[in-house]
Amino acid sequence: MSRPAGRRWRAGLRPRLLAAFVAVTVLGAAAAAWSGAGSASAALVDSAQRRLTETVTSQIAAVTPGLTYPPGQDALELLRTAVSPNAVVTYRDLRAADGADLTTDALREAVRTGGRLVSQRIDDGDRPWLLIGTPVMITAVDGTRTPSGIEVYVARDLTPVGTEIAGMTRSAALTAALALPLAVLLALLAASSVLRPVRDLRDTARRLAAGDLDARSRPRGSDELAELTATVNEMAGSVQSSMAAMRRMQADARRFAADVSHELRTPLSTLTAVVEVLSMTADRMEPDARESARLAITETQRLVTLVEDLMEVSRFDAGTAELRLEDVDVPTAVRQCLRARSWLGRVELRTPPALVARLDRRRLDVVVANLVGNALRHGAPPVRVTVTGTGHEVRIEVADHGPGIPERVLPHVFDRFYKADAARTRTPGSGLGLAIALENARLHGGDITAANRPSGGARFLLRLPGEGDG
C-alpha cells in the first residue's frame, strides 16, 4: 500500500469508524474464542489423560495378581501384552517392549523416585503422545507399599484429542468470523447515522459559501451534531439578515446619489446657460470681476462633469448601462479620442495599421480618455499609448514616466472619490473617472489593471475581448 493511499484510507471518518468497530469486534471475539477454546481444550486433554491413565492402571491391576514374582521374561511379556500397544515393561535387567519407546528421562526418573503413576505429554514432531509411566508396587498385608522393581511405560496417541480440539477451535474461529460482517454492518449504520448530519452540514455550508443564504439543515435528534446544525442555522440566519440590511442600505445610497444627480441636472443646465452668457461678457469686465467670473465658469464646468459622471455611475449601479457593439477600428478610435481632446501632441501613440473589434465606440472613447487624462494629470511625459491585438483580445496600454502610483494607493485607484493625496483635494477630475473606466471595461467583459513599471511610472492596461486581428 503506497503512502498517499494509506493516508486517504485513514482520512475518511467512515473508514476510521469501520476500522475501529471491526478491530474491537475481532479482538473481543478472538479473546472470547481463545479463552473458550483454551479452557475447553484443557478440559478435553485433562479428561482424555485421566481416562487413559485409569485404563492403564486397571489393565495392569487386572493381571498383577496372576504374575509370578520375581517375574521372568514371560511374566513381563504377559504384563506388556496387557497394556500394549507401545508398551515397555522392565524389571531390573529384563525388558519386554513393543512399538515405539518414547520414554523420556524425566518420566523414568519420576517413576523410579516417586513410586506413583505419572504422565507426560510430548510431541515427537509427528503427533502428540501421552506417556504414562508407573512402577508396580507390592502391598503388604498391613497396607505398606514398596516398589516391586517392575516398571511399566506406555505411550498413547493423543491425535484424536488434537483433532477434536482443532475442530473446536475451527468452530470457535468461525463463530468469531461470523461476528465480523455483523460488526461491519453495525459500523456502517453508526457511521451513516453520524455522517449523514455531517454531510448535510457540509452541503449547507457549501451552499452558504456559494451565496445561497437561504440554505439550512434540519437538525435531527438532540445530540451534539444537532446542536451544531442549529448553531450553523443561526449563523446563516444572522448573516442573511445583515446581508439584507447591507444591500438595502447600499441600494438606498445608490438611489440617493442617482436622485441627487438627476435633481441637479435641471438647475445645472440653467446655470450652464447663464455661465455661457457670463463667459461671453467676461472680457469686458473689471480684472477682479473677470477673475471671479472665470472661476465660476470653471467650477460650473466641473460640476457639470461631476453630475454627468455621477449619473453614469448610477446607471452602472442600476444595471441600466447599455452596450452598443459595432465594428470599431481601434487605432482610429483611439486617435480620434486623443485628437478630440487635443492630446495628440502630448501623447506618443503606437498602433498597428488596423485592428477591428466589436466594441462600444462611445465607451471605448470614455475609457481611453479617462486613462490618458489620468496619466497626463498625475504622471509625467512622455505618455505612451500602445494598442495591440492578440487574436482574441484588444490591449491598450497607457504608460507614463512619472513617479508611479504609491503602493498604499495601488489597491484603491479604481475606488470612487479616492484621493491619493488627502491634502490635494482640488483636482480637475471628478474622482470617478477611473471607476467609470473600469465599469465600462467590465461591461465589455474586459478588465483594467494598474501597476508600476520596473523602470518607473504607472502603467494601466485595458484588455477588451473581441476578435481583434492584426
Partner 1 sequence: MRLLTALLLLVVAGCGVRPSGVTEHGEAPTGVAPGVTLYFLDDAGGLRPSFRETERLGSVSEALSLLLTGPGTASGQRTGITSDTTPRVVVVTKAGLVQVVVPLALSEVTPRGIDQIVCTTLAVHVQSGGDRSTKVQVRFTQPTPESEVERTCPVIS
Closest approach, Cβ 14 to partner 1, in A, equals: 19
171 contact partners, CB below 8 Å, separation of at least 6: none
Closest C-alpha to 341, from 441, 405, 428:
428
Among 11, 140, 210, 423, binds partner 1 (CB under 8 A): 140
Rounded distance between C-alpha atoms, residue 433 and residue 402, angstroms? 19
Sheet harboring 393-399: ordered strands across?
347-350, 383-389, 393-399, 458-465, 447-452
86 binds partner 1 (CB under 8 A): no
Residue 69 or 256 with smaller CB distance to partner 1: 69
The stretch near partner 1 (CB under 8 A) out of 4-12, 50-58, 328-336, 354-362 is 50-58
Q: Is 98 exposed, middle or buried (0-12, 13-18, 19+ CB in 10 A)?
A: middle
* Closer residue to partner 1 in complex, CB, 19/253: 19
- Give the nearer residue to partner 1 in terms of CB position, either 133 or 404: 133
Region from 120-128, 386-394, 403-411, 459-467 binding partner 1, contact rule CB under 8 A: 120-128
Residue 26 or 443 with smaller CB distance to partner 1: 26
Q: 458 has which bridge partners?
A: 452
Q: Is 89 in the site for partner 1 (CB under 8 A)?
A: no
Q: How far is the C-alpha of 14 from the C-alpha of 192, rounded, in Å?
A: 8
Interatomic CA distance for residues 383 and 373, integer angstroms: 10
CA distance 104 to 92: 18
Nearest to partner 1 of 91, 414 (CB atom): 91
* Nearest Cα residue to 400 out of 351, 450, 456, 320: 456
Which amino acid is located at 143 in the chain? G
Residue carrying the nine cell digits 501421552? 130
Select 105 or 326, whichever has its Cβ closest to partner 1: 105
Min CB(231)–partner 1 separation in Å: 40
* Binds partner 1 by CB under 8 A, chosen from 76, 87, 110, 383: 110
At residue 434's C-alpha, the angle toward residues 325 and 380, to 5°, is 120
Least distance (Å) from partner 1 to the CB of residue 117? 5
Which of 11, 141, 280, 423 binds partner 1 (CB under 8 A)? It is 141
- Tell me which residues in 158-217 interact with partner 1 (CB under 8 A): 158, 161-162, 165-166, 168-169, 172-173
* Residue 96, beta-bridge partner list: 89
Closest distance between partner 1 and the C-beta of residue 13, in Å? 21
What are the residues binding partner 1 (CB under 8 A)?
Answer: 26-27, 30, 33-34, 37-38, 41, 45, 49-50, 53, 57-58, 60-61, 64-71, 106-107, 110, 114-123, 128, 132, 134-143, 145, 148, 150, 152, 158, 161-162, 165-166, 168-169, 172-173
